[in-house]
Amino acid sequence: MMGGLRRNWSTRSLVKLSFIICLCRCIQSVRAQPGFLSIECCSDANYNDNLTAINWVSDKFWYPNYQDCAILRTGQDHQDYNRKRIFNSDVGNKWCYNLTTHKDQDYLVRATFLSGDQEKNPALSVFNVSIDATVIAQVNSDDSKIEVEGIFRATRDYVNFCLLKVQGAPHISKLELRPLTTDYLDRVPSSALNLIKRVDAGNKGDVRYPVDEYDRIWAADTYADPTVNFISSHNINITSSSYNNISFPPNQVLQTALTHPEKLQFLYDQLDPVYYRYDIILYFLELNESVKARERVFDIYINSINKSQVDIVGSGSSVLVVALNVTANGKLDLTMVKSPNGSKLGPILSAFEIMRAHPLNQETSQEEVGIMMDVKNELLEHNQDNEFLLSWSGDPCLPISWPGLVCQQVNGTSLVTNMNLSFRNLGGPVPHSITKLIHLEELDLRHNNLIGDVSEILASLPNLTSLYFGCNPNLHNGLPDSLNRTDLSTDYGKCTGHASRHSLQKVKIGVVAGVCTLGIIAAGVFLFCRKKRKVVFLSKFDGNEYPVTKNAIYSIPSTEIVRKSISVKAFSLDYIELATQKYKTLIGEGGFGSVYRGTLSDGEEVAVKVRSATSTQGTREFDNELNLLSAIRHENLVPLLGYCSEKDQQILVYPFMSNGSLQDRLYGEASKRKALDWPTRLSIALGSARGLAYLHTFPGRSVIHRDVKSSNILLDQSMNAKVADFGFSKYAPQEGDSTTSLEVRGTAGYLDPEYYSTQHLSAKSDVFSFGVVLLEIVTGREPLNINRPRNEWSLVEWAKPRIRNSRMDEIVDPNIKGGYHAEAMWRVVEVALACIEPYSAYRPCMADIVRELEDALIIENNASEYLKSIDSFGGSHRYSIERPIVILPTPVQTETSPILSQPPPPQPR
């Protein structure tokens, strides 16, 4: 039966195919639409496809080199083109095609990746595909042919289509750019779309240009269920072109359809298991002219959302278009079912499109891009085939920065703060454009053959703290010996050592001082200084003291580059009751009300917060939290999945955090089963600090959490920290706000004394509470415990004098004794102490804290490596609890180079 049907189908599709070919032949003289750009990578000549009138050009304009081309064995299913360009370089990480566009015009871009002979290319390659700074897909060379299609709106007169190396060498065979005048991006503004499926239901051959004027490919139907009927009608001639602003597919696509007496189901369960918004467009047309209104009525379900009572004829429009958006992770189940209320016929479907929305990543400012292009061009003039320079492609910072650059996100845009051109075999003058990179903090030009001098650079860059230019034989020093910028670390052009790059990379000792450095004043008063200062730490390792300078540069992956989109869903009360099995499992109670565990229809586990009638928080707080949470997204903040505000109920739905709260892990039930180790504590501290830093610097208006505590720091299945509970959050007061309207809120033991006494709320109140959390992390004690002796009730009051007197062994949680690096511990404790300063002005900001904790984590992570180098000198440092650091109040200039193959000799004080 099944075979019969199949054969039937293929005969029909043969007829169909010959029809397409005939149609195409007829329009041989047609010229391709203006604005089409079609690139065949590695082809040696341009080629005009007589069948489609598409003119293919070679990509030698972008990549003139043919050494990286491969010809694939023919005889595979893709016989039309068989070459690929392979981007194989040790240096590069990103390769872009810079394509000309018109600002504000929408485009479809389609790349074809052919892998070819797996025997000859056994190495798997994995790479990301991005449109400017926005990654839209990941490609895995496992499949012999992959097409990635994106839809975007041009923001200027060019777009960079990039391949980002993840593993192995990226490759590409074809790239097509097509202007669109349809409306895809109207429903999902500020996004780039990635096509998941575009199917011409009921058709067995692909339909594309010239039948589709935009050259969208309406893919052949691969629906396998033999009980589904294929129908077609060639009489269809739709003359209108759109419905609700959504343009119709070509007539030829509408002329075929699938239908079933009961239901049609399309299941995509291999999607990226991360929450994305999917835009789904369904095109319906009644092909059976005898069907009347209400005879064919069906319901559409996509995962949990549904649209009921679809009646094509009854709708009065020739083509009925249903556009639905849904947030999903991993799975989309698209089902059309005959309506239970007396419909005679089952569903019919002509075509559909599924697109995933990727929110646009803010690009680097055009000014900064322009300067970096100038630096590149100046260098290229004298270093034509330099592989390092040629690897500088696309946006300098995003989605990943050019080799040798480190960028920082400031005010929503990326700035170059660190440039390392060392060991790159560069000749010619030091590029003048570097003087325009005014945000530059570190510049390393060592081991090249540059000429000129660096005095101009030093004079133009106000924030430069490190300048190294040694080992350039023809580079004049230019710096006065009397240079007295104490904030600058430089080698004065001296060529120290003949270390190779290799050994430079190997040696990793050193302590990084953050931009805002913690200074300790003799009396034990801690102050954060906003200015950069060179600080030399003298560490007692092997009995001798030697300085560890801030020369070693670590790059910490920025966590904010890729923003995931999760749109907040409105759930019905019925759905919530179903998901929680009528509030069966209570997992917690908070100021807001009760928290229940539940499962959404797609299987996702959730925590459902239900406002209790006696809650002290009202509608105001509910809306407050809702508005805030739908705008705020950060990997260290618990995202809001949905809400329900039916029948006076106020319900919030969050993902379930399977590892509970930090509080529970530190001294709750969970801690009795297994104590949290120090590195995990440190990474939780850093994660939650990043989450809070994000809140405090939220674009537009700083957001204060107001109830930072360890029970509000939740842990996901990988023990990543996520700050929860924004119920108390408030927009930070701005000038003009009356501050008295804010009641003091917070939890005993965490409350900022200054806020309590003045009622003046600032981000520094969160900093105080976070300091208490850090103390909990270090000590494993609760912030307030009246079951302890009177002088130990308050954690802050108990810990403070002990820290100041360096009696660390008295306060560190006995569970982690012997399991931490003393210096990392000191960093954390010093930050904690600064955070709990009674006067908020003396407390650091969250960004400073993040930096300090990053340093602490680096120290902890490098501890073993670090120890090895120390152990060879017989010193034993780890776990020694005596105060390991002395910080000199005055900066000392030293000649220490990071190229330390052995510890340097003792330095006289």
Ligand X SMILES: *[C@@H]1O[C@H](CO)[C@@H](O)[C@H](O)[C@H]1NC(C)=O
Site string for ligand X, 173-212 (x = CB under 6 A): --------------x-------------------------
DSSP symbols for 269-330: --S-SS-EEEEEEEEE----TT--TTTBEEEEEETTEEEEEEEHHHH--SSEEEEEEEEESS
User: Any residues with CB less than 8 A from the CB of 788 and at least 6 apart, and which?
Assistant: none
Site string for ligand X, 370-389 (x = CB under 6 A): ---x----------------
43 binds ligand X (CB under 6 A): no
Closest separation in Å from C-beta 267 to ligand X: 20
CB count, 10 Å around CB of 17? 16
Site string for ligand X, 503-532 (x = CB under 6 A): ------------x-----------------
Q: Residue with structure tokens 């293919």?
A: 56
Closest separation in Å from C-beta 794 to ligand X: 35
394 binds ligand X (CB under 6 A): yes
306 binds ligand X (CB under 6 A): no
User: What pairing do the DSSP bridges indicate for beta strands 449-453 and 475-476?
Assistant: parallel
User: What pairing do the DSSP bridges indicate for beta strands 442-444 and 466-468?
Assistant: parallel
From 17, 20, 146, 166, residue interacting with ligand X (rule: CB under 6 A): 166
Part of the chain binding ligand X (CB under 6 A), chosen from 158-166, 467-475, 487-495, 837-845? 158-166
Closest separation in Å from C-beta 100 to ligand X: 6
CB count, 10 Å around CB of 515? 15
Q: Which is nearer to ligand X, 411 or 616 (CB)?
A: 411
From 325, 435, 477, 645, residue interacting with ligand X (rule: CB under 6 A): 325
Write the secondary structure of 643-693 as one string of H (helix), E (strand) and C (coil): EECCCCCCEEEEECCCCCEHHHHHHCHHHHHCCCCHHHHHHHHHHHHHHHH
Write the secondary structure of 532-601 as one string of H (helix), E (strand) and C (coil): CCCCCEEEECCCCEEEECCCCCCCCCCCCCCCCCCCCEECCHHHHHHHCCCCCEEEEECCCEEEEEEECC
Q: Which is nearer to ligand X, 126 or 899 (CB)?
A: 126
Closest separation in Å from C-beta 521 to ligand X: 22
Part of the chain binding ligand X (CB under 6 A), chosen from 393-401, 469-477, 581-589, 797-805? 393-401
CA dist list (Å): 564 to 126, 359, 361, 639, 747: 20, 7, 10, 11, 32
Closest separation in Å from C-beta 395 to ligand X: 6
State the Cα–Cα distance between residues 165 and 192, nearest whole angstrom: 20
From 29, 67, 222, 239, residue interacting with ligand X (rule: CB under 6 A): 239
Contact 413, 431 (CB under 8 A): no
Q: Which of 200, 299, 395, 707 is catalytic?
A: 707
State the Cα–Cα distance between residues 582 and 520, nearest whole angstrom: 56
Tokens of residue 484, six digits? 């007295």
Closest separation in Å from C-beta 440 to ligand X: 8
State the Cα–Cα distance between residues 130 and 398, nearest whole angstrom: 10
Q: For ligand X, how many residues bind (rule: CB under 6 A)?
A: 28
237 binds ligand X (CB under 6 A): yes
482 binds ligand X (CB under 6 A): yes
- β-partners of residue 171 are 86
52 binds ligand X (CB under 6 A): no
Part of the chain binding ligand X (CB under 6 A), chosen from 159-167, 240-248, 292-300, 656-664? 159-167
From 37, 285, 375, 400, residue interacting with ligand X (rule: CB under 6 A): 400
State the Cα–Cα distance between residues 424 and 73, nearest whole angstrom: 37
Q: Which is nearer to ligand X, 447 or 843 (CB)?
A: 843
Phi-psi region of 275 (alpha: psi -120 to 50; beta: other; left: phi over 0): beta
DSSP at 887: E
Part of the chain binding ligand X (CB under 6 A), chosen from 156-164, 626-634, 706-714, 760-768? 156-164
Part of the chain binding ligand X (CB under 6 A), chosen from 392-400, 625-633, 653-661, 869-877? 392-400
21 binds ligand X (CB under 6 A): no
Closest separation in Å from C-beta 538 to ligand X: 25
Q: Which is nearer to ligand X, 394 or 404 (CB)?
A: 394
578 binds ligand X (CB under 6 A): no
Phi-psi region of 141 (alpha: psi -120 to 50; beta: other; left: phi over 0): alpha
Closest separation in Å from C-beta 326 to ligand X: 8
DSSP at 346: -
771 binds ligand X (CB under 6 A): no
Closest separation in Å from C-beta 42 to ligand X: 19
Rg over alpha carbons for the chain, rounded to the nearest Å, is: 32
Q: Which is nearer to ligand X, 417 or 710 (CB)?
A: 417
Tokens of residue 742, six digits? 């804010």
Q: Which is nearer to ligand X, 448 or 565 (CB)?
A: 565
Question: Alpha helices, DSSP H only, in 180-287?
Answer: 184-187, 251-254
Q: Residue with structure tokens 């776990």?
A: 879
From 8, 10, 18, 50, residue interacting with ligand X (rule: CB under 6 A): 50
Active site residue 648: no
User: What is the Cα 743 distance to its own chain's centre?
Assistant: 36
Residue type for position 704: I
User: Any residues with CB less than 8 A from the CB of 540 and at least 6 apart, and which?
Assistant: 877, 884
641 binds ligand X (CB under 6 A): no
Q: Is 174 annotated as a binding residue?
A: no
Contact 638, 714 (CB under 8 A): yes
Closest separation in Å from C-beta 438 to ligand X: 4
399 binds ligand X (CB under 6 A): yes
Q: Which is nearer to ligand X, 165 or 709 (CB)?
A: 165
568 binds ligand X (CB under 6 A): no
Q: Which is nearer to ligand X, 98 or 894 (CB)?
A: 98
Contact 813, 779 (CB under 8 A): yes
Q: What are phi and psi of 530, to 5 degrees?
A: -85, -25
135 binds ligand X (CB under 6 A): yes
Closest separation in Å from C-beta 494 to ligand X: 20
Question: Alpha helices, DSSP H only, in 461-552?
Answer: 501-506
Q: Which is nearer to ligand X, 278 or 798 (CB)?
A: 278
Residues in the chain: 909
Q: Which is nearer to ligand X, 72 or 357 (CB)?
A: 357
Region 414-443 residues binding ligand X, contact defined as CB under 6 A: 438-439
From 8, 10, 138, 585, residue interacting with ligand X (rule: CB under 6 A): 138
Site string for ligand X, 842-881 (x = CB under 6 A): ----------------------------------------
158 binds ligand X (CB under 6 A): yes
160 binds ligand X (CB under 6 A): yes
**Which residues of the shown chain bind ligand X in the complex (CB under 6 A)?**
50, 98, 100, 128, 135, 138, 158, 160, 164, 166, 187, 237, 239, 324-325, 369, 373, 394, 399-400, 411, 438-439, 462-463, 482, 484, 515
Instruction: Please enumerate, by residue number, every residue annotated as part of a binding site.
Output: 609
- Which residue numbers are catalytic? 707
Binding site for ATP: what residues are annotated? 609
